[in-house]
Structure 1
Amino acid sequence: MDLGLKGKNALITGGERGIGRAICLSLAKEGVNIAYCDIKLREGKESTQEEIRKLGVKVLPMEVDVSKEKEVVLMVQNTIDRLGCIDIFVSNAGIIEWEPITKITLECWNKIIAVNLTGAMLCTREVAKHMVKTRKGVILFTSSTIQYNPAYKEAAYRVSKTGVQVFAETAAIELAPYGIRVNTVSPGLINSPSWAKGTLSKVINDPQMGKEFMSNIPLGRVGLPDDVGSVYAFLASDLASFATGTNIVFDGGFTLRPLVLVTREEIESMNL
């Protein structure tokens, strides 16, 4: 399906791996020129930039720490200089570390907030300055279903992602008069490189505990980055032209948190 995005320019943060990579490729498949950044770029055939080049669009990879104001300002200006304008911006860069409240260090807390929340603000501020002048654009944020479901050892991460959601809603109100749409996507459990390092991935990979945990996901599986990438392309297109301030939850039904009195297999056997 042609989303009508061919020839547009996008800037994506955290684009080298996981969900960010999937977003880059999903947009590139629609003919969008891609500028993306990450704290560390990969080289070679498996890199995001090489995959994008195969799709025949322009690509501008940059190594950027989104928590550093000067680096963000330079990134946005480089993108405008090289591509001409920014039609789509995706604030996706994020980190997670697992620390209980009684042991979390100030360094850990500040690092997560700096990248996930302050970084989102800095990037959006600079991109919005440009989009206000052109009086058009789409800004998308990667939030998380963690804002709805508290999880052990993820206080800083949850605060940062909830903050992203609130910031995006405020941006939607402020930027709407300039023809700029702002929306968020809240992925659930996605099998990405950062998620694979966590305790939950070990639980799911355990034969017994994994089966019990999966019963909490109505669709019965963990998501993949490619499951999510196409959602961003849709929100960036005119098919979503009346959507702003919207949050798309993409989690296989996990946030519904059904009260599991019967197993998923038993539900299937009911032939509902």
Structure 2
Amino acid sequence: MLELSPILPIAWLLVSLGFLKMPAYKACLIGLAISGIEAISLWQMDYVLALKATLEGSVFALLPIIWVIVAAFFTYNISLHTGAITHIKQFMSSLSGDRRIQALLIAWGFGGFLEAVAGFGTAVAVPAALLIALGFEPFLAAVVCIFANTAAVAFGVVGIPVNTLAQITELPILPISMAIVWQLAPFGVLVPLLIVVTITKSLKGLQGVWLTTLISGISFGLAQFVVAKYVGPELPAIIGSIFAFLATVLSAKVSPPLRDWKFPREREAAASFAKVQA
């Protein structure tokens, strides 16, 4: 029972949010109660210490994480109000009008960079807001950014988790960094492919952009490998994300898809507009 107890609150959240469709605040409060009961009854945690842990967790969630999300959508609304979002759309359209490539640039490249320099949810909140502004559905934008965040998050903000691990274990930091890079290698290729398939809801969605998608992932992995081997854990995710962004742009310019992929609703709207004009 003790071995399974740490999993129960997380399992509850997955079931309540994913299957029972329970409101998040209710599911989280019940999850908190489960954690508290387990800590006090199974692990013999002091009541006062459990209360302090609850308060600390609440403050941590409200300040760095919720604040980042609020700031991201505040920036999004300001961009709408000032018209700056139009310039963002024009800039992204100048790079590529294909929704698949836009997702790779914003969620994979830019999102990975934000994770490496800021963390605390910025890699999901900010890119998701940009994707929503470009016409992505909010839920899809969030899912895509979460997928994209799985690779860059390993090194954390400027390598702090890896440096901390090296200090605690008293192991040499460069071998640890290389071990992380080798573990991330398959995900560097898989995640960009998963992003495109998630957007298009089909493996056929890779048609026309499979090479750009592979280049985006491989460039991220190669840059991480070189930096981790010769520099350390502070810069692999930063340099890898920058290289992935630039490589994706270059590939999309040199070998663009024959036809820009749009969402079905966008194609229907364009067809309706064409009929009206005719």
> TM-score by structure 1 length?
0.31
Which structure's residues are more often strand, by fraction? 1
Which structure's residues are more often helix, by fraction? 2
